[in-house]
Amino acid sequence: MTLPRTLTSGTPVPPEPAPAPITPDAVNVLGVPLAATDYESTIAWMDAMIAHREKGYICVAATHTIMVCDEDPELREAVLNSSITLPDGQPLVWAMNALGGDLDDRVYGPELMARYCEHGARRGARMYLYGGRNQGALVQLALNLRQRFPGVKIVGGYSPPFRDLSAEEEDAIVDEMNRSKADVVWIGVGAPKQEKWMAAMRDRVEAPVLVGVGAAFDFHAGLVPQAPEWMQSAGLEWLFRMVQEPRRLAPRYVRYNPRFIRSFARQYARHRLLGDTAER
């Protein structure tokens, strides 16, 4: 909390109002506007949304998400209606820069969650955890976050079943989230489920910011190892994850990675052609 400043006469001066949320510019990659932003600006946007009690949600997109948007109209609508869609995958950063962007790095969901937990522990932000493999994994996640970021306020959590929730179950979890007075709800139920959940629940959940971070819950709970930094920088995180969970992830990457390369190659060719035409 910011204390009011005081003049030399002892008269209190009201604190300066928090800046309004500033939505970052975006680069369109295969029909999906990806935010040209970084961790610091994303965290500042989250703080501003909380300060002004505005509602929004953040999608964290990898190439898989971009490609599934072509096949799943509900996912596409959820992503296009997000407040911000972040480039979570390194190949998306390369694609954005090829189209004229100027990004130094991606905004990786697990890293954003870690940085905001550290930041939020200092600011007193209240956080709710929705997701995880089971309730035991969720408890471990909360414990790890509290140990890693002393003072972080985890005000509640729920690990939903893998099946669809009934209307009564949805009502109960929304009521619990709202009673917790959370500022941020982290959602870790995987794509495309988390994006659809945020779009469907955005008006009902009172927390200003919802963020879908997928595998971040497993990483921070210590259930799944993260790829080495060099593999992440080289855009090979998908390979590391596929080796860890081949039955679940191999079909995804074998199908969608080549499709992304082909589709983006066509977009880039059109971009270069139009650019060359405009220069003549």
Taking only the tens place, the pLDDT of each residue in 171-216 is: 999 999 999 999 999 999 999 999 999 999 999 999 999 999 989 9
Q: Is residue 214 part of a domain?
A: yes
Reported as type and span, the H/E element at residue 61 is: strand 56-61
Query: 19 pLDDT band (50/70/90 cuts)?
Result: confident
Which pLDDT score is estimated for 278? Answer: 45
Q: Is residue 238 part of a domain?
A: no
Q: Is residue 260 part of a domain?
A: no
Taking only the tens place, the pLDDT of each residue in 107-162 is: 999 999 999 999 999 999 999 999 999 999 999 999 999 999 999 999 999 999 98
Contacts of 261 (CB under 8 A, 6+ apart): none
Q: Is residue 237 part of a domain?
A: no
Taking only the tens place, the pLDDT of each residue in 34-73 is: 999 999 999 999 999 999 999 999 999 999 999 999 999 9
Taking only the tens place, the pLDDT of each residue in 220-254 is: 999 999 999 999 999 999 999 999 889 989 999 99
Q: Where in the sequence is the domain holding 47, given as residue range(s)?
A: 26-226
Residue 16: pLDDT above 80?
no
Q: Is residue 8 part of a domain?
A: no
- Mean pLDDT, range 64-92, rounded to an integer: 97
Helix count and strand count (H, E) for the chain:
12, 10
Structural contact between residues 18 and 48, judged by C-beta atoms closer than 8 angstroms: yes
Paired residues of 29 in beta bridges: 32
Query: 274 pLDDT band (50/70/90 cuts)?
Result: confident
Q: By percentage, how much of the chain surpasses pLDDT 90?
A: 83
Which pLDDT score is estimated for 6? Answer: 46
Please report, for the domain that includes residue 94, its CATH number. 3.40.50
SS3 state at 84: strand
Residue type, 271: H
Q: Give the 3-state DSSP-derived string for 113-179, with helices as H, strands as E and coil as C.
A: HHHHHHHHHHHCCEEEEEECCCHHHHHHHHHHHHHHCCCCEEEEEECCCCCCCCHHHHHHHHHHHHH
Structural contact between residues 90 and 237, judged by C-beta atoms closer than 8 angstroms: yes
Q: How many distinct structural domains can be found in the chain?
A: 1
Q: Is residue 205 part of a domain?
A: yes
Which pLDDT score is estimated for 195? Answer: 98
Q: Is residue 37 part of a domain?
A: yes
Which pLDDT score is estimated for 7? Answer: 44
Q: Measured between alpha carbons, how far is residue 202 from residues 45, 194, 199 in Å?
A: 17, 12, 5
User: Of 116, 130, 141, 148, which is closest to residue 49 (Cα–Cα)?
Assistant: 116
Q: Is residue 167 part of a domain?
A: yes
Query: 20 pLDDT band (50/70/90 cuts)?
Result: confident
Paired residues of 27 in beta bridges: 34
Distance, in Å, from the CA atom of 34 to the CA atom of 80, rounded to the nearest integer, reads 10
Which pLDDT score is estimated for 13? Answer: 56
Contacts of 58 (CB under 8 A, 6+ apart): 42, 46, 82, 83, 84, 85, 86, 209, 210, 211, 212
Mean pLDDT for all residues in the chain:
92
Distance, in Å, from the CA atom of 28 to the CA atom of 182, rounded to the nearest integer, reads 32
Structure tokens at 163: 């099946």
